[in-house]
Structure 1
Amino acid sequence: CLAQNPKEKRSVLVIFWILAFLVGNTLYVLYTFSSQQLYNSLIFLKPNLDSLDFFDLLWIVGIADFMLKYITIALKCLIVALPKIILAVKSKGKFYLVIEELSQLFRSLVPIQLWYKYIMGDDPSNSYFLGGILIILYSLCKSFDICGRLGGVRKALKLFCTPQNYGARATSQQCAEAGEICAICQAEFREPLVLMCQHVFCEECLCLWFDRERTCPLCRSVAVETLRCWKDGTTSAHFQVY
Structure 2
Amino acid sequence: MGMGVILRIDSGFFVTIYVTAFMYKSNDILRAQTALKGERRMSVLAGYLVVFVVHVIGVYWWYQNDDLCYPLFMVPPTAIPPFWHAIFIVIVNDTMVRQAAMAFKLLLLMYYRKAKGHNFRRQGQMLTLVEYALLLYRAFLPAPVWYRFFLNKEYGSLFSSLITGLYLTFKLTSIVEKVRSLWAAFKALSIKEVHYGSYATPEQVTEAGDLCTICQEKMQAPVLLRCKHIFCEDCVSEWFERERTCPLCRTMVKPAGIRSFGDGSTSLFFQWF
The answer, yes or no, to whether TM exceeds 0.5 is yes
How far does residue 190 in structure 1 lie from its aligned partner after superposition?
1.8
Find the counterpart in structure 1 of residue 254 from structure 2.
Answer: 224
- Identify the match of residue 127 of structure 2 among 87, 96, 101: 96
Question: Relative to 1, partners in 2 of residues 1:101 and 1:5: Cα closer, same or farther, differing over 3 Å?
Answer: same
How far does residue 51 in structure 1 lie from its aligned partner after superposition?
5.0
**Per-residue Cα deviation, 1:56-99 (whole angstroms, up to 9, x for no partner):** 10000111100111122122221111145898112112112211
The reply on whether 1:33 has 2:34 as its aligned counterpart is no
**Per-residue Cα deviation, 1:27-70 (whole angstroms, up to 9, x for no partner):** 2212322221522221122456x651101100001111001111
- Residue type at the aligned position of 1:115: W
Structure 1 gaps, min length 5 = none
Task: Name the Cα RMSD after superposition.
Answer: 2.5
Give the secondary structure class of the aligned counterpart of 1:201: strand
- Residue type at the aligned position of 2:224: V
How far does residue 116 in structure 1 lie from its aligned partner after superposition?
1.1
Matched-pair contact (CA < 8 Å) for 1:212–1:231 = no
- Identify the match of residue 112 of structure 1 among 132, 143, 150: 143
Distance 2:165 2:67 in 1: 29
How far does residue 163 in structure 1 lie from its aligned partner after superposition?
2.8
**Per-residue Cα deviation, 1:4-49 (whole angstroms, up to 9, x for no partner):** 6366243x3433333223223212212322221522221122456x
Matched-pair contact (CA < 8 Å) for 1:214–1:227 = no
Taking the TM superposition and a 5 Å limit, the aligned residue runs for 1:73-84 are 73-83=102-112, 84=114
Find the counterpart in structure 1 of residue 238 from structure 2.
Answer: 208
- Residue type at the aligned position of 1:17: G
How far does residue 202 in structure 1 lie from its aligned partner after superposition?
1.7
**Per-residue Cα deviation, 1:189-208 (whole angstroms, up to 9, x for no partner):** 22212223322112233223
Across the two proteins, how many residue pairs are aligned to each other?
238
Find the counterpart in structure 2 of residue 131 from structure 1.
Answer: 160
Question: Relative to 1, partners in 2 of residues 1:16 and 1:191: Cα closer, same or farther, differing over 3 Å?
Answer: same
- Residue type at the aligned position of 1:231: F
Taking the TM superposition and a 5 Å limit, the aligned residue runs for 1:50-199 are 52-83=81-112, 84=114, 88-121=119-152, 124=153, 127-165=156-194, 166-199=196-229
Matched-pair contact (CA < 8 Å) for 1:212–1:227 = no
Distance 1:6 1:58 in 2: 38
- Residue type at the aligned position of 1:192: P
Instruction: Report the TM-score, using the length of structure 1 for normalisation.
Output: 0.86
Distance 1:176 1:36 in 2: 66
Structure 2 gaps, min length 5 = 1-30
Find the counterpart in structure 2 of residue 45 from structure 1.
Answer: 75
Matched-pair contact (CA < 8 Å) for 1:3–1:81 = no
Distance 2:48 2:260 in 1: 19
Instruction: Report the TM-score, using the length of structure 2 for normalisation.
Output: 0.77
- Residue type at the aligned position of 1:150: V
The reply on whether 1:21 has 2:51 as its aligned counterpart is yes
How far does residue 135 in structure 1 lie from its aligned partner after superposition?
1.0
How far does residue 172 in structure 1 lie from its aligned partner after superposition?
2.9
Distance 2:217 2:81 in 1: 60
